Amino acid sequence: MKRAGIIGGMGPEATLDLFKKIIKNTPAKKDQEHIPVVIDNYPQIPDRTAFLYGKGENPLPYLLESMERLEKAGVDCLCMPCNTAHYFIEELRKRTQVTFISIVEAVLSDILKSKKEYKKIGLMATDGTFIGKVYHTPFELKGLEIVDFNDKIQQSIMNSIYTLKAGDFTKAVDIFKDVFEKIVDEDYDCLIAGCTEIPILLPYIEKNKNVDIFDATESLAKHVVSFCLDQSVS
C-alpha cells in the first residue's frame, strides 16, 4: 500500500471533501485497510486566481514548500484539491521525483473512458482556471472543446465559490442554485465541477436536470486510491 500526499488548504473545505472521497472510495472493512494519507492543509498559499489576474503574490513558492513537507513525510504520490493551482503542475513535477496525480488528467481520463461520447465540455471553474487555460490545453489536445459561459454566469460561479470560502454556506448554495438554473440552458454535452468548492455545493441543487456532471474531486480521489492500492481505476 502506498502513501498519498495532499497539498491542501485551497480551501480547507475542498481538502476535507477530497479526504472524504478518498475514504469513501476505499474498499475497507476496518481502519487498517484504509490508505495512509498525509494532508498538508496550508491555507496560507496565496489566492491562485488573484495571481493569474496579476494582482497577488505568487503561490508557487508556497506550493513548493508544501510539496517538500510532504516529500519529507515519505509520500509516494502527490495531488492537490485545487483546480486553479494546476496552472503550476508542470513546475511542481519538474522539482519532484514523486508521481504527481493531476485532477485535470484524472477527470479527463474519466470523460474519455465514459460510454457516452462528449465533445463540448461546460466547465464550472474559477476565472484563474480559465485565464491559466488549465483545462483548455489538455482537453483540446484530446479533441475536446471547453465551452466558455457568458460573463454573468462566470461572475456568479466565482461569487458562489468565494462565498463558500468565506464560510457562508447557505448563501453560497443560494447563489449556486440560481446560476445553475442558467447553466443548464447552455450548450454542452457534459459539465465538469472544475473548482473543488463546486462539488461541496452540488448535492444541494436539484439533480433531475438531465445533465451529466463530472466531479473532478471524485475523479482525483478514485485515481489516488487506485494508485495507492496498486490497482487500475475502475
The sheet carrying 213-215 orders its strands as 145-147, 120-124, 190-193, 213-215
Site string for a copy of itself, 26-45 (x = CB under 8 A): --xxxxxxxxxxxxxxxxxx
87 binds a copy of itself (CB under 8 A): no
Q: Does 55 bind a copy of itself (CB under 8 A)?
A: no
Active site residues: 82, 195
Considering only 13-21, 133-141, 214-222, 225-233, which stretch makes contact with a copy of itself by CB under 8 A? 13-21
Binding of a copy of itself by 170 (CB under 8 A): no
- Beta-bridged to residue 128, according to DSSP, are none
CB of 230 to a copy of itself, least distance (A): 16
Cα-flanking dihedrals φ and ψ of residue 76, to 5°? Answer: -100, -15
58 in contact with a copy of itself (CB under 8 A)? no
4-19 b/e (C-beta count within 10 Å ≥ 16 → b): bbbbbbbbebbbbbbb
Q: What is the largest CA-CA distance in the chain?
A: 48
Query: Looking at the DSSP assignment, which residues form a beta bridge with residue 147?
Result: 122
Footprint on residues 127-166 left by a copy of itself (CB under 8 A): 162, 165-166
Task: Please state, in angstroms and rounded to a whole number, the distance separating the CA atoms of residues 7 and 14.
Answer: 11
53 lies in the site for a copy of itself, by CB under 8 A: no
# residues near a copy of itself by CB under 8 A = 39
Q: Where are the beta strands (DSSP E) in 32-94?
A: 37-41, 77-79
Can you give the binding site for a copy of itself, defined by CB under 8 A? 1, 9-13, 15-16, 19-20, 23, 28-47, 69, 72-74, 162, 165-167
